[in-house]
Chain A
Amino acid sequence: MSDALLTVQGLKKSFRRGLLSKPVDVLKGVSFEVPPGTITGFLGANGAGKTTTIKCLLGLAIPDQGEIRFFGRHELSPEVKARIGFLPERPYFYEYLTGREFLRFYGQLGGRFSASHLRDRIEKLLDRVGLKHAADRPLRSYSKGMLQRIGIAQALVYEPEFIILDEPMTGLDPDGRYEVSEIIRETAKSGTAVFFSSHLLPDAEKLCDRLVILKKGELAYQGPTVDFLGKTGGGYQLVTAKDGKVQTEDCSSLEELNRRIDERRAEKANIIEVRANRLTLEEAFVRIGMEQR
C-alpha cells in the first residue's frame, strides 16, 4: 500500500466540443503521486490539462479511464472530501454572502465541528488570511486578491490534511501573489500538504519541494524541484562595480558564480547584484528536450 496522499494511475479524459464533433483527448494516461508533507507544484502551459486533472480528482469531471486514490487507498467520498480543501481556478463564490457567512456555510457543510469550534475556527482563518476587517462585507465588494484569500480560507476550514489550489496566483498583482505565497507557506508549515497548479515556473520554484509537470495531456516530469531546476538551470548574472565602472557577467553554474564573486571581491570590486536567470516553462522544456515529445 502506498503512503502517498494522492495516487493517480493512467488518468484519461476526453471532451466533445459539440454533439457531432470528434472527442478531444485532454488527458492521455496521466500517472503521478503526491507524498505527504510537501508543497507540490502542478505545472503546465495553458491547455496542458491541469484543471481537468484537478476536476477529475475532485469528482467534478468523470474520468474515462484511470484510478485515483487518496490517503493510500481511498476513493473519493464525502469522508475523503472532508479531509481535502479546494480552491477553484476562478474564485466565483456566492457574492450575496459576507466573508464570515461564506466560511460558516462551508464549515457547516462538513459537519465536523461543533458550532463553537467552527466559530473559533472561522475567526482564526479570517485572521490568518488578513480579512477580519472585511468579514461582514458581502463578497461582491471584495477585490480579486481578497476573494483569493477568502477562497483559501474556505479550503482550510475543515483543517484538511491536503489542499488543492487551482492557479491560486493567476490575475493577482505582486502584493497579492506575495500574500498568497505566504499563506501557502504557512499552511504547509502547519502540516497540510499543498498541491497547487500554475503555468508559471517561477511561482512554483519559490514554493515547491516537488513538481508534477504536464505537457499536452501527458506527464512530462515528476520529482524534486531541485532536480528539475538542476537540469534546466538558467544560470546567474553577477553585477559588480569598481572605480565607478559597472560590469555584468553571466555565470552558467553556482560554482562559477561563487568563484567569480571571490575573484571580484579579491579585486576590491563591490557586489551590486546577483540574480538567477528565470526560465519560462516552455524554455525549461526546450532545455531538457521535452519539446520533442
Chain B
Amino acid sequence: MTRSYFHPVAIIAANTFREIIRDRILYGIVVFALLLFGLSLALGQLSFAEQARISADFGFTGIQLSAVVLAIFVGGALVSREIEKQTVLTVLAHPVTRTQFIIGKFLGLALVIVVVMSGLTLALLALVISLGLEITRAFFTAVFGIWLEACVLMSIAMFFGSFCRPMMTVIFSMSFFLIGHWVGTLDFFVEKSRSVPFRMVAGTVARVVPDLERFNWRSAPIYAVDVPIAEVIRSIVYASGWVLALIAVTSLIFRRRDFV
C-alpha cells in the first residue's frame, strides 16, 4: 500500500484527539464554561432588558476561556509530555518524520477545540434563543474568531513547549495572549510617545506578538451587526500565517533535538 505524507499526520492527530478526550482535565474545562453560562443567566436577571446580551457576552467569554486554556495548557504540554514520558521514542522510530509528528499533534488538539467549542456553542445557542436573542451569521463568526485565536495560541504554546519547561511555556504563552489583545493600544502609544527607548521596545513587541483583537468579533452578534466577509478572510490569512510560521519554527527546533 502506498501512503501519502498526510497519512501518519492523520493517525497522530486521531491519537492526540483520543488522548485529550480521555483526559479528565478536559471535562474540568467544560464544566467551568458551563458554570460561566449559569453565572451569566444569574447576572442577566439583574438587567431585565439586556438579559440576552449579558448572557451572550458571558457565554462567548466562557467559550473563549475554555479554548484559550486548552490551547495554552494542553498545547504547551503536547510535545513536552511526549518527551518527558519518552513515548516520543517509540512513535519516531516508526515511519513518521518529526515534522509530521508536530503537525499531527497540532491538528489533534485543534480538532478537540472544535468539538469542545461546538458543544459549548450549542449550549449557548439554546440559552440565548430561550432568552430571545436573534441569531445571525455574526454569532457563528464570533465563535469562529475564538477558534482562530485558539489556533494561533496553540501554535505559540507548542513553539515554547518545544524548548521550555512547562511552567515557562504557560507564562510565555499567557504573556502573548495578554499582550496580543493590547497590540492595537501598544501601537497607539508607540505613535504618541516621544521616548525613543519606549518606541523601540514597544514597537518591537507589537511586531513580534500576533494581534489577537483581529479575531474578536464577539460584540457583533450582541449588537446585531455583521462582520464583513473581507475582514474574516483577512483574519484567516493572518492566523494561517502565524500558525504556519510557528509550526515551521517548532519543527525546525524539534528536528535538531536529541532525545536522551
Which residues of A come within 8 Å of B, CB atoms? 15, 52, 55, 58-62, 78-79, 81-82, 84, 86-88, 90, 92-94, 96-97, 101, 105-106, 108-114, 151, 154
Contacts and interface: CB of A to CB of B under 8 A. Distances in A.
A105 B11 contact: yes
B19 interface: yes
Contacts of A96: 18-19, 22-23
Contacts of B96: 78, 81, 109
**Secondary structure class of chain B's binding surface, majority of residues:** loop
Interface of B: 1, 3, 7-8, 11-12, 15, 18-19, 22-23, 85-87, 89-97, 256, 258-260
B91 A61 contact: no
B258 A60 contact: yes
Contact of B93 (A86, A94, A108, A112): A86
A35 to B, nearest CB: 22
B258 A92 contact: no
Identify the 8 closest CB pairs spanning chains A and B, nearest first.
A111-B3, A78-B95, A86-B93, A61-B258, A92-B86, A81-B95, A88-B89, A82-B95
B256 A62 contact: yes
Contact of B86 (A86, A90, A108): A90
A86 B12 CA distance: 18
14 contacts: A55-B89, A55-B258, A58-B93, A60-B89, A78-B8, A86-B94, A87-B90, A88-B90, A92-B87, A96-B18, A105-B11, A105-B15, A108-B11, A111-B95
A86 B89 CA distance: 9
Contacts of B1: 111-114
A96 to B, nearest CB: 5
B15 A94 contact: yes
Contacts of B18: 96-97, 101
A15 B260 contact: yes
B86 A88 contact: yes
A122 B186 CA distance: 58
Given A15-B258, A55-B258, A92-B85, A109 B22 contact: no
Contacts of B89: 55, 60, 86, 88, 92
B95 A94 contact: no
Contacts of B91: 109
A148 to B, nearest CB: 13
B139 to A, nearest CB: 35
A286 to B, nearest CB: 30
A130 B258 CA distance: 34
A59 B258 CA distance: 9
B254 to A, nearest CB: 12
A118 to B, nearest CB: 10
A62 B257 CA distance: 8
Given A106-B90, A108-B11, 17 more contacts: A52-B260, A55-B89, A58-B92, A59-B93, A60-B259, A61-B260, A62-B258, A82-B95, A86-B90, A88-B89, A94-B19, A106-B94, A109-B91, A109-B95, A111-B1, A112-B3, A151-B90
A93 B87 contact: yes
Contacts of A114: 1
A90 B90 CA distance: 10
Contacts of B23: 96
A151 B95 CA distance: 16
Given A15-B258, A94-B19, A96-B22, A60 B8 contact: no
Contacts of A87: 90
Contacts of A58: 92-93
A101 to B, nearest CB: 8
B180 to A, nearest CB: 30
Nearest to A84: B93
Nearest to A26: B260
Contacts of B259: 55, 60-61
A130 to B, nearest CB: 21
A112 B1 CA distance: 5
B252 to A, nearest CB: 13
A113 B8 CA distance: 13
Nearest to B22: A96
Contacts of B97: 78
Nearest to B104: A109
Nearest to A90: B86
Contacts of A94: 15, 19, 87
